[in-house]
Amino acid sequence: MADETQNAPVAGVETAAQEQPTKLYVYYYSNPDGATKDERCHEIFTEIPFDVVPWRMHKEAPAEGMVDPVWDDKLNSGLGAWKENSGTAQGQILAEAQAKIEELDRKSEQLDQANDKVDQAVKTMQQVQAQSSQQNVALMKSFTEQTQNTNKMLATMQQTLAMVVKANQQATPKAQAADATVQPEQPTDKQENGGN
């Protein structure tokens, strides 16, 4: 039972904390050379008030119409005041330059990637051309061999045909002579009109 009593919250303390809201103090941080708008003017909320405001923090709020306020120590007789950012702060110029450099780097990388793709396409095309050339050489060699074989076959056929013709010519006079001895001569005194 003692543990339960020690862990139970006291009703009066909890209610008191709920009834008294915490007061927040607002300060404005400003780095005049800040690269971003947040660095040039940023609200800081704290529950503790500052007796001495830390460096680059200010109690005064910038005017409501300001788009990009920045603190200028030279204004207001050297006490400083808020002014509209002119874009001439070193940090801002440096940040813009760095952003442009990064953009150029990205574009350079994209260009390098595109060049790599072009190089790969060229290599692929060269490989295809080399394969095509090899195939053409193989086809031409095959065609040449077939043509040579056809020419050899035609030459052989011509020789064979010449031998057949020669053998035929030699055999023809003997055959005609043999035919002449075998066939009786036809009488020539017959009349053409079949008459006697």
Hey, what are 27's tokens? 């300060």
User: Cα dist. 179→25, 97, 168 in Å?
Assistant: 145, 117, 15
> Taking the chain, what is the end-to-end CA distance rounded to the nearest angstrom?
172
Radius of gyration of the chain (CA): 57
Residues 11 and 78 in one domain: yes
Q: How is residue 187 annotated by DSSP?
A: P
Range of the domain at 108: 93-158
Contact 26, 47 (CB under 8 A): no
Q: Which residue has the tokens 């075998």?
A: 182
Residues 31 and 109 in one domain: no
H helix runs in the chain, sequence order: 2-7, 11-19, 37-40, 90-182
State how many domains the chain has: 2
Phi and psi at residue 37, in whole multiples of 5°? -60, -40
Phi and psi at residue 116, in whole multiples of 5°? -60, -40
Residues 100 and 132 in one domain: yes
Residues 66 and 111 in one domain: no
**Confidence (pLDDT) at 123:** 92
pLDDT tens figures, 45-99? 999 898 888 888 888 889 888 888 888 888 888 788 888 887 665 666 677 778 7
Mean pLDDT confidence for 180-194: 58
Residues 99 and 145 in one domain: yes
Hey, what are 91's tokens? 């940090």
In terms of Cα–Cα distance, which of 77, 76, 81, 45 is closest to 61? Answer: 81
pLDDT tens figures, 104-142? 889 999 988 998 999 999 999 999 998 988 998 888 999
Rounded CA-CA distance 95/103 in Å is 12
Exposed e or buried b for every residue in 109-123, given b needs 16+ CB within 10 A? eeeeeeeeeeeeeee
Task: Give domain status of residue 54, yes or no.
Answer: yes
Per-chain mean pLDDT for the chain: 79
Task: Give domain status of residue 99, yes or no.
Answer: yes
**Confidence (pLDDT) at 124:** 92
Please state the length of the chain. 196
Task: Give domain status of residue 55, yes or no.
Answer: yes
